[in-house]
Amino acid sequence: MKAGVNLRARLIVRVLADAYMVACQQDCDAFVIPGDLFDVVRPEPQLIAAVQQAFEDGAGRGSGRPRVFILVGNHEQASGEPGDHALGPLAPVADVYERPLVKAVYGDDGEASLAMYMLPYSPSVPGNDYVEQALAHIELNVSVPSDESILFAHLGVEDSGTPVWLRGAHDSVKATVLADAMRKMGISCAIVGNWHDHRVWRFDDGIEIVQCGALVPTGFDNPSTPTNLGPDSDPYGSVIVWDSSRPRGHRCERIVMNGPRFVQSRSVSDVCNAIETGCADHGHKVFARVIASADAVPSITQSMNDLVSVQAGKDFWWEVVADHDDVKKRVASAAMSARDAQTTDRALAEYVFEMPLDDDLDRQRVLDLARQCIAGAEG
């Protein structure tokens, strides 16, 4: 912890600053976060302050300072009531959208050059209905050139390739439904956030839909592998740059940001490869986890300690954890031995000597302490 923010969060906030720096350096008109900036509805004040500072840090390394727009996502929304979300404190540094709205962006000549349709998360209306209903009630009061409209939404986009468990989710919309709604409104591009993988849909008439994907994985539930840490295959680190000077239907470019990546494996060699590839070749900060049987934890821990000395100077952190299923089997075996014992004392001894414990623990000492506890409870 440092100033109330842990190492992992500090690394993630640094990537946010780097992403904003890209927008500044490319002289962008706007920097948009399409939801789920925070993963909780009540982030710590120190984390909020760190996010505010990230925009200052990013601007300090760029040439311009684009306005920041943030949509309320489902993770930071406590309820559908106005203001009941985590983004309110960011009002001094960003425009926060909790209701559907269209925002015009003006050029140096004072004319509206771009229309940005903002659709934050809706807890009450399913995604397939929400897009069309919301767009029908948004009115743009200025004239914007044809094809200069973008839709930002906090939705997952689904098609035949979407995993079964995600299809039909409340916070999803079919790619074809979204494209039809865009055609009716004359919107040529949609950039959406929610689901963590990066995907692109392009239609023959120039409609372009980009699911930007996660800027940063936040833990081992968003894992990387040694083979997908390169920018061409990395599912994370996505910043999408929209440029109106490019051909319609191909105006979005993806830039992959370096940052934390989380790799877990049962193989020490896989973890070594991930650390070498992720740190040395791509500049990531690698968090590595080796899953091992309970018996193998001490030896693999020693192997990882040896690796630390070999990989000195690289930004990586590691842990070795016992396989959960293996531990459960051992506990079940210990329980069966205890059940078959003739006396309570014998059952206790059977359990202590059969259950998985760290090798440096004195099992007899553990048994003696357990016996003392039982005697004290009975007394």
Kindly report, residue by residue over 78-91, the tens digit of the pLDDT. Answer: 998 999 999 999 99
Beta bridge partners of 37: none
Please say whether the beta carbons of 170 and 127 come within 8 A. Answer: yes
In 3D space, the residue among 236, 226, 274 whose CA is nearest the CA of residue 258 turns out to be 236
Could you list the beta-strand ranges (E) of 136-181. 149-154, 156-158, 172-174
Q: Is the pLDDT of residue 355 over 90?
A: no
Helix or strand run (H / E) with residue 337 = helix 324-340
Q: Is the pLDDT of residue 357 over 80?
A: no
Q: How many other CB atoms are there within 10 angstroms of residue 27's CB atom?
A: 10
Beta bridge partners of 168: none
The answer to which of 94-98, 146-150, 256-260, 281-285 has the lowest mean pLDDT is 146-150
Contacts of 359 (CB under 8 A, 6+ apart): 298
pLDDT band at 313 (very low <50, low <70, confident <90, very high): low
d(CA 31, CA 111): 20
pLDDT given for residue 340 in this prediction: 66
In 3D space, the residue among 335, 374, 372 whose CA is nearest the CA of residue 356 turns out to be 335
pLDDT given for residue 61 in this prediction: 76
- pLDDT tens digits, residue range 207-258? 999 999 999 998 888 889 888 899 889 999 999 999 988 999 999 999 999 9
pLDDT given for residue 312 in this prediction: 58
CA dihedral 204, 208, 214, 216 (to 10 degrees): 110
In 3D space, the residue among 57, 200, 176, 83 whose CA is nearest the CA of residue 127 turns out to be 176
The half-sphere exposure of 329 on its side-chain side, counting CA atoms within 13 A, is: 8
Q: Is the pLDDT of residue 343 over 90?
A: no
d(CA 17, CA 61): 9
pLDDT given for residue 268 in this prediction: 86
In 3D space, the residue among 115, 83, 112, 114 whose CA is nearest the CA of residue 97 turns out to be 83
Which structure tokens are listed for 71? 């949509």
In 3D space, the residue among 286, 11, 243 whose CA is nearest the CA of residue 148 turns out to be 243
Helical ranges in 120-267 per DSSP H: 127-136, 175-185
Could you list the beta-strand ranges (E) of 257-311. 260-265, 285-292
Q: Show me where the domains of the chain are located.
A: 1-90, 262-322, 326-378
Which structure tokens are listed for 37? 């900036």
pLDDT given for residue 325 in this prediction: 76
pLDDT given for residue 295 in this prediction: 80
pLDDT given for residue 95 in this prediction: 95
- pLDDT tens digits, residue range 20-64? 999 999 889 899 999 999 999 999 999 999 999 999 988 887 677
pTM higher than 0.95: no
Per 3-state DSSP, the chain is made up of helix, strand and coil in percentages (nearest 5) of: 35, 25, 40
Task: Tell me which DSSP letter residue 279 carries.
Answer: I
Task: Tell me which DSSP letter residue 123 carries.
Answer: S
pLDDT given for residue 62 in this prediction: 67
pLDDT given for residue 359 in this prediction: 67
Could you list the beta-strand ranges (E) of the chain. 30-33, 67-71, 95-97, 101-106, 112-119, 149-154, 156-158, 172-174, 189-193, 199-202, 208-211, 238-242, 252-256, 260-265, 285-292, 316-322
- What is the percent of the chain with per-residue pLDDT over 90, rounded to a whole number? 53
pLDDT given for residue 311 in this prediction: 64
d(CA 135, CA 79): 22
pLDDT band at 290 (very low <50, low <70, confident <90, very high): very high
SS3 251: coil
- pLDDT tens digits, residue range 122-157? 999 999 999 999 998 888 887 887 678 999 999 999
Contacts of 105 (CB under 8 A, 6+ apart): 29, 30, 112, 113, 114, 115, 116
Q: Scanning the structure block, which residue is given the tokens 């821990």?
A: 301
